[in-house]
């Protein structure tokens, strides 16, 4: 997808001295972090790495100057290697091999499990027993996660609480790889910034606010972001939608007031410190 996008944009701007800007997002790395699913995350990171390499290759093969900046807007999950599993002093260990054995994400496995439960006859002589479900789960863990040693506690949680199986599957693989997590949300860990050209991106060496990455790109491309935004708003009115109350809503979404955050971490007033209450991106009390 990355290669096709770069090829199409290079073709479209062949006779144009302004070049092009392309944003490539490995968005499911974040989702795997929210799920605390290290197997899904490692595969998403590897896919991102492939996209990253193809951009480097494109830049090397092209005589037209270009720069690639790679970063993240935040870390998700509070990932750490060497999770402590016991009360005894932990060994400094991590088992990435356990991630290599998994062929599916916990999200996919939870969906499979739900589909299976829904397909079961609920009444009469053919009603299924927990033994049937247990056998199904044993098979699902083996084929999907490469796990053959589920404990009776893990099996019990999957049987009694299918509604949180998404997290249970992720926990099973996290324990076996000794991958630790501190949150299902975004974390405040500093993230890396990579650049294809150390000289061109010298301004991004060291520690920076993430807005400085955008400022660097605008400067490097010599783009007047304000003017482009104005043009997009004017030309994009055809894509505007009408809200439930009949009010017109910009296709770019509601524009935040100065200093206002449309979603994020400023909802402490509503937090009840209860797992599951705070949903990703939306505060389910005020809806913002």
- Residue 145: which of 127, 112, 170 has the closest Cα? 170
| Shorter beta-carbon distance to Zn ion: residue 30 or 107 | 30
Residue 228 vs 279, nearer CB to Zn ion:
279
By C-beta, is 138 or 183 nearer to Zn ion?
Answer: 183
Look at the block and give the residue holding tokens 């693989």: 173
Residue 71 or 250: the one with the smaller Cβ distance to Zn ion is 71
User: Which token pair is 21?
Assistant: 């800007």
Q: CB 75 → Zn ion: shortest distance, Å?
A: 10
- Smallest separation, CB 33 to Zn ion (Å): 7
C-alpha span between 7 and 234 (Å, rounded): 29
Choice between 160 and 210, CB closer to Zn ion: 210
Q: How many residues bind Zn ion (CB under 5 A)?
A: 1
- State in angstroms the smallest separation of the CB of 257 from Zn ion: 23
- CB nearer Zn ion, residue 53 or residue 210: 210
Cα separation of 79 and 191, whole Å? 12
Q: In the range 4-63, which residues lie near Zn ion by CB under 5 A?
A: 30
Shortest spacing between CB 74 and Zn ion, in angstroms: 7
Of 27, 36, 281, which is closest to residue 182 (Cα–Cα)?
A: 36
Tokens 């979404």 belong to residue = 253
Q: How far is the CB of 201 from Zn ion (least distance, A)?
A: 26
CB of 113 to Zn ion, least distance (A): 24
Of 133-192, which residues contact Zn ion (CB under 5 A)?
none
User: Which residues contact Zn ion by CB under 5 A?
Assistant: 30
């Amino acid at each position: 997808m990355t290669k096709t996008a770069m090829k199409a944009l290079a073709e479209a701007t062949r006779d144009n001295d302004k070049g092009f800007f392309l944003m490539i997002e490995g968005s499911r790395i974040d989702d795997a972090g929210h799920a605390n699913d290290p197997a899904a995350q490692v595969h998403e990171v590897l896919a991102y790495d492939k996209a990253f390499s193809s951009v480097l290759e494109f830049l090397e093969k092209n005589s037209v100057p270009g720069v690639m900046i790679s970063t993240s807007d935040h870390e998700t999950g509070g990932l750490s290697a060497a999770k402590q599993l016991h009360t005894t002093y932990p060994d400094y260990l991590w088992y990435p091999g356990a991630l290599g054995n998994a062929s599916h994400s916990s999200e996919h496995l939870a969906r499979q499990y739900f589909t299976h439960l829904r397909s079961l006859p609920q009444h009469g002589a053919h009603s299924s027993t927990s033994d049937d479900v247990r056998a199904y789960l044993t098979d699902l863990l083996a084929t999907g996660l490469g796990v053959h040693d589920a404990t009776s506690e893990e099996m019990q949680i999957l049987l009694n609480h299918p509604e949180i199986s998404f997290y249970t599957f992720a926990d099973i693989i996290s324990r076996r790889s000794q991958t630790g997590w501190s949150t299902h949300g975004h974390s405040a860990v500093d993230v890396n910034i990579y650049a294809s050209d150390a000289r061109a991106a010298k301004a991004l060496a060291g520690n920076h606010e993430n807005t400085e990455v955008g400022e660097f790109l605008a400067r490097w491309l010599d783009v007047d972001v304000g003017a482009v935004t104005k043009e997009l708003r004017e030309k994009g009115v055809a894509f505007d939608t009408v809200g439930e109350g009949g009010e017109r809503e910009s296709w770019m979404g509601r524009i935040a007031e100065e200093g206002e955050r449309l979603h994020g971490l400023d909802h402490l007033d509503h937090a009840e410190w209860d797992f599951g209450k705070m949903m990703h991106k939306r505060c389910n009390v005020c809806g913002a």
